[in-house]
Chain A
Amino acid sequence: MQSKEISKSKLFFGSIEWNKYMVYIVFVIMFALFSIVLGDKGFLTQNNLINVLRQTAMISIMAVAGTFVIASGQIDLTVGAVAAMSAMIVSLVLQKTDSIFLALVCGLTLGISSGLINGILVTKFRIPPFLATMGMMSVIRGSAMWITNTAAVPIKNMTFNKVFGIGNIGGLPVLILWTILFYIVGVIIFNKTIFGRHTLAVGGNEVSAGYSGIKIDKIKIIVFLMSGVFAAFAGILYAGRMQAGRFSFGEGDEMSVIAAVVLGGTSMSGGTGSVVGALVGSILMGVINNALILAGLSSAQQTIVRGVIIVVAVVLSNLSQKQKR
């Protein structure tokens, strides 16, 4: 009888998890604001909005895996570098063999290997993920520069460029279609599979996950693998969109991914997360970038304002979290 009472009162105060919905609220507010202020500068045109989605496709895709990484209490700083390296490999293989299949295999293999190495460093050698992936980031980015001595590699294969970058299907850019596909897969894995729950459990309480018979190391390795593969695919999309491989692709993407995922309601300390939130978080960041450019801010001003907006958004979601007490 007494327990009934508890469930009732707790339900009342605790069931609304504001931090999860914050990103949607912030998104709507920002969007409305930009529509009013920048409406006459073309913010609301279909062209502009589709463009925003195209530009954020890579971050969005990496943020799917990023949600798993952060929800399991880990962090992966290699994603930007992996994207660059994968783009380099893909364009080099295309240049030498013109085989799309071989190029994809080689690009994704890079993602698998770097994810595996990250996972093993973190689980078997017990290196904190921040340090392990920071080191790996440097190694991979350096390799991307070294492989052609920082020269860009153009891609002449138009089929590749169309499918993975500049094409349209039924009026929608392929980049948006790829994003949708990855999100469908991500949402299903995260919410519907056992692996998804185990990811959250490892981030929420590693000890108890272990006591429940979950193979913690295995989960972590798979999460890093996923992150590597998704980043490699993002690199393929970068290559297709730019019709070239360049070592500088994805610079700073690791930070954008973390920001998008956390804005989307995933806790930095692990244990909670939302894949759809990460998508909205990525798009929100894209919209902000776009609006700042339309508003005619200089690149220095853009950097500052973007920083302020991210901090404010995170503060807001924290505030609403605190009120629960």
Chain B
Amino acid sequence: MSKAILEMKGINKSFGSVSVLENVDFSLKEGEVHALVGGNGAGKSTLMKIMTGVYSLDSGEVFINGGKKNIQNTKDAKENGIAMIFQELSLVPTMSIAENIFLGEELTRNGFRDVAAMKKKSKEILNELGIFINPELKVNQLSVGMSQMIEIAKAISKNAKILILDEPTASLSDSETVQLFRIIKQLKENGVSMVYISHRMNEILSISDSVTILRDGKKVITDKIENMDLDKIISHLVGGETSQRKFEWVEREYDADGDLILKVDNLKINEKIQNISFGLTKGEILGIAGLMGSGRTEILETLFGIRRKLGGTVELMGKVVNIKNSEDAIKSGFALIPEDRRRQGLVLGHSVKSNAILPYLRKLLVGRTHLISEKASNELAKNDIKKLNIKTDSIHKKINLLSGGNQQKVVIAKWLNMNPKVMMLDEPTAGVDIGAKTEIIEIIRNFADEGKGVILVSSELTELLSVCDRIITMFDGKITASILRKNINSEEELQNAVQRN
């Protein structure tokens, strides 16, 4: 039995009057990967932020290597060998990769920054992780997935003994996840102990040694992973009721040869992404699978008018539409739930309510005036919270204080209200807990059942397989196949299709 490298005892934490953690114990053994599981808002990130000195605890004790420690800030945490990869990306977008990796602990020579050394060292760290990228690139030129890898590099560069990964795979594609797992295993061999937070159960079952489950700020159980399985974890998560919350594919009724709601012909976005043609039937859920950078997001963004198309036509309900900006797109009946909720989906400084009603304001006016009805707005927001089971103590709470998954639900709610004809979702369940995931999938199905169209981009093949009627695969900017869901027998089959050139 190896000893505990880190122990947290009787941790309590509240924000204002809201209690977030109640008497939580947590123990991390040396050299293990310990999964921390719980619904959105259960308090996982908060517990870990206490450990890294971002938040202070109200009461409780923290021991590292048996010694009681008082971690006040991130510097203390670093000195104790703790590093964390935050759920909210924590890179400075205007600075280079190398500068970010060494932010806060720059290498110096004669009192000046040693740029060459930092560049060289960054390159080494990145290469070790199998990432070959110029460390002088600015972070705002990178995709979300790549930024995530840089974040990991940054944490590793600190030679941490304890590494906390808060939903590191939420925006990674499957192949990148594989790469990350390789890194995790390697770190484990080097003796690093890790806390791994994720909502993806198959990842947890495959990578972790033990698991702790939190529910509504309380610890439910800690156990070896061998003693757990998917059903057990889920039942602990939701609290007893073992109703089938796993999502399985059910063939949906829709007229596959019916009218097209959307027809995309020879769309050209840039030199790499072109010859994009596909149709979407009324009531159909179409999935787009592909590696990161294969052009999935770009297609959605172009249809939504955020990118300019260089050629090709888009027909909506048989009529050619010429969409120049997102306002045109919304008017014609498109909705886009974007990939990066914090940057694209939400106004972070605003309340849940103002975010939820933002695209809907025109329909919330008092009579014929131009004034917004408070009453109607409040009702709409409250309704959203109920419908999607959003966890917040009030509709007036600032959205950046909600847990990640709950923020995502607000983005979805916001667009559902608009009642679009074609709903496009880019990684809609990234960072969403199982319960909410099931709900979101249910919402997508119901929406399609009304005879509307859905386009779903997801890096999680399981998710695509559980909801889509048809899946398009993309490789390097081209569509490589279009397969009916009922003809796909296993995830491997789809995985192979995705990687085929």
Contacts and interface: CB of A to CB of B under 8 A. Distances in A.
A9 B74 CA distance: 36
B112 interface: yes
A14 B86 contact: no
A211 B108 CA distance: 21
Contact of A271 (B93, B103, B132): B93
A162 interface: no
Nearest to A201: B92
Contacts of A192: 112-113
Contacts of A6: 133, 142-143, 146, 293
Interface string B134-162: 10011001110010010000000000000
Contact of B92 (A2, A15, A200): A200
B467 interface: no
A201 B113 CA distance: 15
Contacts of A193: 111-113
Interface stretch (A48-56, A97-105, A202-210): A202-210
Contacts of B75: 213
Nearest to A272: B94
A58 to B, nearest CB: 28
B48 interface: no
B108 to A, nearest CB: 7
B106 A194 contact: yes
A10 interface: yes
A154 B74 CA distance: 54
Contacts of B84: 211
Contacts of A201: 92, 95, 99, 103
Interface string A164-190: 000000000000000000000000100
Closest 7 CB pairs of A and B: A271-B94, A212-B104, A208-B90, A204-B92, A204-B94, A213-B104, A192-B112
A209 B103 contact: yes
Contacts of A204: 92-95
Given A201-B95, A207-B88, A271-B93, A2 B113 contact: no
A298 interface: no
Contacts, number: 103
Interface in B247-298: 272, 291-293
B134 A7 contact: yes
A76 to B, nearest CB: 20
A300 interface: no
30 contacts: A2-B292, A2-B293, A3-B146, A4-B132, A4-B133, A6-B142, A6-B143, A7-B132, A7-B133, A7-B134, A7-B137, A10-B141, A193-B111, A193-B113, A197-B106, A200-B95, A201-B99, A203-B94, A204-B92, A204-B93, A205-B92, A209-B104, A211-B54, A211-B90, A212-B74, A213-B75, A213-B104, A214-B103, A271-B92, A272-B94
B482 interface: no
B47 interface: no
Interface string B105-124: 11010011100000000000
Interface string B310-342: 000000000000000000000000000000000
Given A5-B293, A7-B133, A197 B86 contact: no
Contacts of B106: 194, 197
Interface string A245-275: 0000000000000000000000100111000
A197 B90 contact: no
B445 interface: no
Contacts of B495: none
B64 interface: no
A325 interface: yes
A222 B78 CA distance: 24
A304 interface: no
Interface residues of A, number: 37
B85 to A, nearest CB: 10
B473 to A, nearest CB: 15
Contacts of B272: 9
A181 to B, nearest CB: 18
Nearest to A203: B94
Interface of A: 1-7, 9-11, 14-15, 188, 192-194, 196-198, 200-201, 203-205, 207-214, 267, 270-272, 325
Contact of A205 (B74, B90, B142, B149): B90
A118 B385 CA distance: 42
Nearest to A210: B74
A5 B106 CA distance: 29
A9 B133 CA distance: 11
A197 B113 contact: yes
Interface in B26-45: none
Given A3-B133, A9-B272, A213-B73, A205 B99 contact: no
Most buried by B among A5, A208, A271: A208
B94 A11 contact: no
Contacts of B113: 192-194, 196-197
Given A6-B143, A205-B92, A213-B104, A11 B137 contact: yes
A11 B92 contact: no
B143 to A, nearest CB: 7
B94 A200 contact: yes
A16 to B, nearest CB: 11
A123 to B, nearest CB: 16
A210 B131 CA distance: 26
Contacts of A205: 90-94
Contacts of A11: 134, 137
A204 B94 CA distance: 6
Contacts of A213: 73-75, 78, 104-105
A14 B141 contact: yes
Contacts of B89: 208
Nearest to A267: B94
Contacts of B74: 210-213
A201 B73 CA distance: 18
A4 B111 CA distance: 34
Contacts of A9: 272
A197 B95 CA distance: 9
Contacts of B108: 194
B236 interface: no
A214 B142 contact: no
Given A3-B146, A205-B92, A207-B90, A212 B132 contact: no
A237 to B, nearest CB: 28
B398 interface: no
A211 B86 contact: yes
B382 interface: no
Given A204-B93, A208-B92, A197 B293 contact: no
A4 B138 CA distance: 15
Contacts of A14: 137-138, 141
